[in-house]
Every structure is written in structure tokens, then in C-alpha cells.
Structure 1
Amino acid sequence: MTPQKSDVLIIGGGFMGASSAFFLRQHGRSVTLLERDQIGQYASGVNFGNVRRQGRFLGQLELSNRSWALWKRLPELIGEDLEFIPSGHMRVCYREDEIAELEAYAAAPEARELDLQILSGKALHDRFPFLGAQVKGGSYAPHDGHANPRLAAPAFARAAIRAGARIEERTEVTEVQKVGGEFQVTTADGQLFVAEQLLITAGAWGARLAEAVRRVCPS
């Protein structure tokens, strides 16, 4: 069989895989993405669509802030609207002593771009009257929000294709080998894909693939 070569081979066509294909093309890398079914068919397309920074580990916020900035520019970047709405995100606590934890998080230098508002008592319930009396405090992130998960992965895949990526749906990977400095990936329909770099973005199905890579690339 004739090997089909690219710089980067991506296995898994959810949001992570499709967006990775797009951004790799922006950096001039040739990309092939293999998806066992359809782009965005599984978890990427049936989640809550949260675009949230609040509550993440403080060490992740620098990366989260960069991601949030991209969400605001997506119509310009990929030519499609993913219905991102900065509707706000509320994190609540049910004990008075937990308010201090919310305050400490909001005061951390890493969280300064979130513009968090800490509320308690009457101020909390006046602003959010639907909260029950058992809620003692809250941290409101006005810039966090949500997008439409059904649109996200397919839109990024279309943008990646327009940018020159190759995307193969209904193409299941059956074997991963490392030969010399290249990964060789065989699919159920007998195709052979070759790349120097392999990116596994298969979500819940990634463990089997990761184990295959571990065998051919032991640490």
C-alpha cells in the first residue's frame, strides 16, 4: 500500500482534534485527521458548551485566558459563528467559611483577568433571587459563558479543510507503529498514513491508542 504522508497525524475528530488541525495549518504544518465516525459526533457535540475560566486550577488560567480571547475572535478566524455568549458563570458555596476560599481565588494574581465579583448575604440574593437560602456566597465571572457544542467541531473541521488539512471520516485506526523517525498508522480499510508527529485526541477512546503508542515508544 502507498503511504500517505503529512507532518502531523491526528487521531480523533472531536473539538480538540478539529481545532488542532486548523491551528497547525495556520503554522504551515501539513495535517491529516482520522475520525472513526463523524466529526463532533460524540462528547464534543453533546456537552453543556461551557466556555469557563472560573474555578480552573490557577496554573491553567494563562492558557485559559488565551483560549477565551480566541473564542471572541472565532467568526474572524474560522468564518463561522459558534454562538459564543459571555452570559456569565456563577460558582456558589453552602457554608460561610467557604466564602474565604472564593475570595482567595479571586485575589490571586493569576485570576485578575476574570474580574470576579464575590457576593454574600443580602447582596447575593438581591442580585440572584432564584438562589435558595442555603446558598451562603458566590463568585460571579461576568465574561465566562457558553457556545453551541453541536457547531464547534464541524466548523473547525471545515475551516481546517479550507486551510489545506485533510480530514478522513469513518476511518478507524487499527494499528500504530513507529518505524525509524516516523509513525505509521494503519486503518481498518487498509490505508497507511505516515507522519513524524502523532496527536491522539480520541477522548474516551484514546486509552487504547495511547497504549499502542506506549508499546512502540517506551519511555
Structure 2
Amino acid sequence: MPGPKLDPVESDAELPSSVDVVIIGGGIAGVCTALELVDRGKTVAICEKGQVGAEQSSRNWGWVRLTHRDPREMPLMVESVRLWKGMNERIDDETGYRQCGVTYTVATDAALAAEHNALDELHQYQIPARILNREEALAAFPGLSLEIKGALHNPHDGRAEPQMAAPAIARAVQARGGTVHQNCAVRTVETANGRVSGVITEKGPIKCSAVLVAGGVWSRLFLGNMGIYLPQLRTKNTVMRTDPVPDGPETTLKYRDFAMRRRLDGGYNIASAEPSRYQLTPDSFRLFKAFLPTLKNEWRNVSLGLGPAFFEALRTPRRWTSKDVTPFEKTRVLDPEPESTMIDKVLDGVKSGYAPFKDAKVAQRWAGYIDVLPDVIPVISATEGVKNGLPGLFVATGFSGHGFGLGTGAGLLAADLITGRSPCVDPTPFRLHRFTDGSKISAMQVLARH
């Protein structure tokens, strides 16, 4: 099942013999880190096992939101929105970013009361969100006939185009002297004198003094080969896009059963607001204890199943050398089958409740894997402080479905850590060793899924 069509990035013809930093992974966090580094005068090579942005960085909903964020993420998300606002001008290219606003409708009085808590959090950051009554909320969406009690509207929330953003930023890295190498998996990290000295890729070695692992759902496997513990699982999400819809809303809409946002091409991305069925893997059992705090909050929202993912994981090697063909070379792009029946049912609900969409046609469906950590916030961190961690080895992963919007800020923070600059926000919540230093691990009571 082919995934969403990405804007093209042309790989550089030659692998550099030496750079300051190698980025493992060409998703949004990886390319944004690379952009920050090259703008600081560092030499950078992005090594992507498949195509830039081809996994979850192009398969997500495309939301850039401040609302319903974990408080630990909020300072970084504020930075992220600041960077998104200037990104098109900065790279002289189109990421699709628009600050269109998002309206979060609610169907019960209890849910409306809960939105007041979200409003208080936003107001702490001087974000002019407000609560709308039913009439105000419906007035913003002519033709909407859903049964709602009201809504929270945040005009500072926005959207960007996942199929455009990471490729556009990668091309900007190249224009500034960085290099991009697609279909070029990093096999191992080399060391000298107890610190990072380079990498071995399937196409040859690159000397460097720093490496960032930004491999999405692959990060646990890569770090595990080095003996570094990362408690990461993955879950699948399905999205569809429609053909252009005349008279559709500019503002993004969230309802109890679905979420939708306008695309630059005039169509809409539509997704279910309910969690997808989670396929158990061997890591589900290995990491059960680590994820128990999340399950205590979210067990009612988890739908478990046993399918091909379990047996695929059993067949996947967990150890290899620089001379071996790695799992990253055997699977260039994860392209799971979308849950078509489920997402078509969601579209039927949109059509029945929102008049402008009554004749909407499906242009494409796709699915992607979201990388999840036990506390549902990312790791953006050095690896020193954990067993087998190395000076010069950094990680940016585990964005738990929040990573597209956070990508610009994550790149800034990762670049700060790599270069030793004073970090843009307090990096403590994102440290890797929080999972092994005895810290209490807890997720938000209500998890956001945008």
C-alpha cells in the first residue's frame, strides 16, 4: 500500500569522509536539527535508510498545536510555533505552515468543564484561546449539525503539510552545505578514546565527533544494538485525504469522533479521534512494567490485538555488526496497511454531520507507526548518564504522536545540546536517563492525540 506522496529530495552523490555531526534519520526532528546545526556553521550529513520524511513525519495529521499539551512540553512547543512561523521565509520554501486556529468541540458538559483547565494552561503563556458556547462554535462552521455543548478555540494553533515540510527543510540543509543520503542506513557507531568518532553506513564510513539518533520507531532497535536502553513501543494510526472540498472550513476542527484539517490543495485530512488497535509485539511484554504507569491511566482506550507485527518483530535481528546487512536495509520504509473500514466509517460520520462534506471523495488512505514512550513525552538528550552511553551520542525520539508540531523546537534543543549552547528550554524532562535513574514516570491524565 503506497504511502502519501512526498515532495522530492535529491540525494548527494558522494558520502563525505568527515563531518561534525551525523544525523541518523531524515524525519522532521532530524532535518530540523540539521538546519539548526548548519546555520551555526557545523558540517552535517543526514543518513536516511529510506526516503526523507517517508515514515511518520509524512503520515501524521499535520497539526501544529499548543492546546492539550503535556505541561512538560509546553515551553518547547512555544518555541516550536515561533520557529514554524518563520520557517517558510527562513528556508525560502513551502512547508505548508498556516496559523489557522483549531476549534476543539465537546459533546458533554463534563468535557466542556475540562476544557476550562486547558484554557487556564494556555493563558499562562499569554495565548488568547477562549471557550465558545454552542451557537458561537457552530457559527464558525456553517453546515455543521453535530450535537455539541461548546468548544475551546485557540487561534494560535495551526497546521503544516507533512509531505512537504521535512523535504523542504532537508533541501535547505543541502543549500547551506549539508548533505543528505537516502537509502543509506547507518549500521554502527564507531568510538575512539571512549567517545563517538564516526559511523559505518551501508555505503561506507563517515568520521564525526557527534551523532544524533532520530530514527523514530527504529530508535530502540538501533540503540539496543549498542546496549543502550530505550523503552519505546509503536502504535498505528490511519489517516485519509479527500479531494478538494468547496466551502470547507479554514479552521481545523476536532470533534469527539473525528478530526479534520484543510490542506493546501483544498482537500482535507480526516482521522479518527479514537485510538487505533494496538498490535502486540515481543517488546510489549518486555516493556510491560515500564509502560504500566501509562496503562493505569489509559487502559480503557487501548484495543489490543495480535497480528503480523508480532511475528515480524520475532524475525528481526536485535544484534549485528558493521559488516552485517541490518534490519534498516531490509525494510526501507514502514508502510502499514490502513484500517480502511474504520476510516471510511469516520468519513461517513463527517458527511452526515457536516453539509459541505456530503459529496467528499476519498483521494487516498494511509497508515503510519507512532513511536511511544512510557510518559508520552520525547527523549531529546545526550546518552551520557545511561549504561553504555557515549560522549558525542545524542537522541531525539519517542515523540508519541506529538512530534510533527514539536519538530522545529526539538531540532533547536537537540542542536543546543550537541553544540553545548545554553538550551532553549529546560532539557530535564526530556533526558534519556529518567527511565533508569529512579525518577517517577507518569503520563498526562488525559492524553492528546493530534
Q: TM-score range by the shorter chain?
A: 0.7 to 0.9
Distance in 1 of aligned mates of 2:223 and 2:141: 45
Residue 138 (structure 2) pairs with residue 125 (structure 1) = yes
Distance in 1 of aligned mates of 2:92 and 2:192: 39
2:201 counterpart letter in structure 1: T
Distance in 2 of aligned mates of 1:143 and 1:109: 10
Distance in 2 of aligned mates of 1:90 and 1:70: 22
State the Cα distance separating 1:12 from its structure 2 match.
0.3
Alignment-derived partner of residue 24 in structure 2: 11
Residue 153 (structure 2) pairs with residue 136 (structure 1) = no
1:34-78: CA deviation from partner (whole Å, max 9, x where unpaired):
011221222212322111111111232222122112212122211
2:151 counterpart letter in structure 1: G
Return 118-127 or 88-97, whichever deviates more: 118-127
1:97-149: CA deviation from partner (whole Å, max 9, x where unpaired):
2322211221236643331111234433344451522x223111112121111
SS in 2 for 1:39: coil
Alignment-derived partner of residue 35 in structure 2: 22
State the Cα distance separating 1:172 from its structure 2 match.
1.2
Structure number with higher helix proportion: 1
How many residues end up aligned between the 2 structures?
216
2:67 counterpart letter in structure 1: Q
Alignment-derived partner of residue 48 in structure 1: 61
Residues 106, 112 of structure 1: 8 Å contact kept: no
Distance in 1 of aligned mates of 2:55 and 2:121: 36
SS in 1 for 2:80: helix
Compared with structure 1, are the counterparts of its residues 131 and 79 closer, same or farther at alpha carbon in structure 2 (3 Å cutoff)? same
Compared with structure 1, are the counterparts of its residues 110 and 193 closer, same or farther at alpha carbon in structure 2 (3 Å cutoff)? farther
Alignment-derived partner of residue 186 in structure 1: 200
1:155-193: CA deviation from partner (whole Å, max 9, x where unpaired):
11111111121221111122234332224321223x112
Residue in structure 2 matching 1:158, options 162, 171, 176 = 171
Alignment-derived partner of residue 217 in structure 1: 389
SS in 2 for 1:108: helix
1:180-217: CA deviation from partner (whole Å, max 9, x where unpaired):
2224321223x112322211111112111121344543
**TM-score after normalising by structure 1:** 0.87
Return 86-95 or 122-131, whichever deviates more: 122-131
Distance in 2 of aligned mates of 1:165 and 1:209: 23
Distance in 1 of aligned mates of 2:166 and 2:90: 14
SS in 1 for 2:168: helix
Residues 54, 114 of structure 1: 8 Å contact kept: no
Matching of residues 54-203 of structure 1 within 5 Å = 54-108=67-121, 111-128=124-141, 130=144, 132-133=146-147, 135-180=148-193, 181-189=195-203, 191-203=204-216
**TM-score after normalising by structure 2:** 0.45
1:217 counterpart letter in structure 2: G
Distance in 2 of aligned mates of 1:8 and 1:92: 44
For structure 1, the residue ranges without an aligned partner over 5 or more in a row are none
1:198 counterpart letter in structure 2: V
Q: Percent identity of the aligned residues?
A: 27
For structure 2, the residue ranges without an aligned partner over 5 or more in a row are 1-14, 229-387, 391-432, 434-450
Residues 130, 152 of structure 2: 8 Å contact kept: yes
Residues 96, 165 of structure 2: 8 Å contact kept: no
Distance in 1 of aligned mates of 2:226 and 2:16: 19
Compared with structure 1, are the counterparts of its residues 183 and 210 closer, same or farther at alpha carbon in structure 2 (3 Å cutoff)? farther
Q: With CA pairs under 8 Å and 6+ residues apart, which has the higher RCO, 1 or 2? A: 1
Deviant stretches of 4+, over 6 Å:
none
